[in-house]
Amino acid sequence: MNQGKLLYAGKAKSVYRTDTKDTLIVEFRDDITAFDGGKKDTLKNKGSYNAGVSAFFFEYLEKHGVKTHYLQMLDNHRMAVRTLSMIQLEVIVRNVAAGSIVRNYPFREGTRLDPPVIVIDFKDDCRHDPMLNDDLILALKLATPQELRKIKKISLEINCLLSALLAKQGILLVDFKIEFGRQGKTIRLGDEISMDSMRLWDKVTKESLDKDVYRFNKGDVMATYNRVACRITGAAPRSAVAKKKPAAVQKNRRRSLRPVAKQKAKTR
Ligand code: C5P
């Protein structure tokens, strides 16, 4: 597959056309932004950590029946995906009160939200992604009633699957943002699921393991991303990888972090 023209450049990812039907390439860049683009940096390797974790989650979710746009990794920061017609919604699932709902509503940070709270924002940078409700979503014709029901159902399924997976690594899934698109009549999970789009806390210490480290200068962002990516995917930390024999590294690493040249081509 050959990479074609740039279709879209977002704050941290670029999307390219390809010469393969209905297939795009998502490049995870090393750029990181926060506060509506008010804080910006470029951090070496950041793109590959997010790409690896996203691929790992997409593969895991597909295995558990969730339809996603993911096809395969091309190298450590580029992913081949199905072309979707994106739905202009940001679906946020919250298990624990943190971030904007603590700022905007009388929740104490760390309060368990059971059942989880779904918040849906309008994906529109110019309007600063305002929060929607069902009536607004339908009035704006962003989704049909059936699609909206399906989007909420899939979002809660994803929450259960990821919460359980992360819990095994001692990580609490506080909240996350996902986006969906249409492929014909099928709704698929698109975009990414990474440290940039989730809030993850160490279960014991409650230490932030996500973009809050960057937002609020809580420590070394890349050291955190490296550590959490390894904790999630089971891969060896980058510095440790360099010291090991290549053969041993490949054997121990999970499939999604390996470039496609070393994988068997997927038929999906
Ligand atoms: O800022 P807020 O608390 O509303 O964010 C909730 C979750 O959604 C966080 O995990 C955050 O990283 C994610 N998010 C995102 N992109 C946005 C807004 C929120 O990834 N535009």
At 240, the pLDDT band (50, 70, 90 cuts) reads low
Q: Is the pLDDT of residue 263 over 60?
A: no
- Of ligand 1's listed atoms, the one at least distance from the Cα of 211 is 12
Q: Is the pLDDT of residue 194 over 50?
A: yes
* 92 CB within 6 A, ligand 1: yes
Q: What global pTM score does this model have?
A: 0.90
Q: What are the phi and psi torsion angles at 225 (to 5°)?
A: -60, -40
* 177 CB within 6 A, ligand 1: yes
Angle between helices 221-233 and 46-63 (to 10 degrees): 20
Measure 196 CA to ligand 1 centroid, in angstroms: 8
pLDDT for 232 equals 98
pLDDT for 122 equals 98
Average pLDDT over residues 142-163: 98
Choice from 35, 50, 53, 92 to test ligand 1 binding pocket (greatest atom count within 8 A of CB):
92
Measure 161 CA to ligand 1 centroid, in angstroms: 19
Q: What CATH number labels 87-202?
A: 3.30.470.20
Cis peptide leading into 115, omega within 30 of 0? yes
* 176 CB within 6 A, ligand 1: yes
Average pLDDT over residues 228-238: 91
Average pLDDT over residues 91-106: 98
Report pLDDT digits (tens) over 154-181: 999 999 999 999 999 999 999 999 999 9
Report pLDDT digits (tens) over 50-93: 999 999 999 999 999 999 999 999 999 999 999 999 999 999 99
CATH class of 3-85+222-238: alpha beta
Distance CA 172, CA 165 (A): 10
* 226 CB within 6 A, ligand 1: no
Report pLDDT digits (tens) over 196-215: 999 999 999 999 999 999 99
Q: Does 3-85+222-238 match 87-202 in CATH topology?
A: no
pLDDT for 235 equals 87
**Structural domain spans, the chain:** 3-85+222-238, 87-202
* 191 CB within 6 A, ligand 1: no
- Selected residue with higher pLDDT from 36 and 263: 36
DSSP states of 150-200? HHHHHHHHHHHHHHHHHHTTTEEEEEEEE-EEEETTEEEE-S--STTTEEE
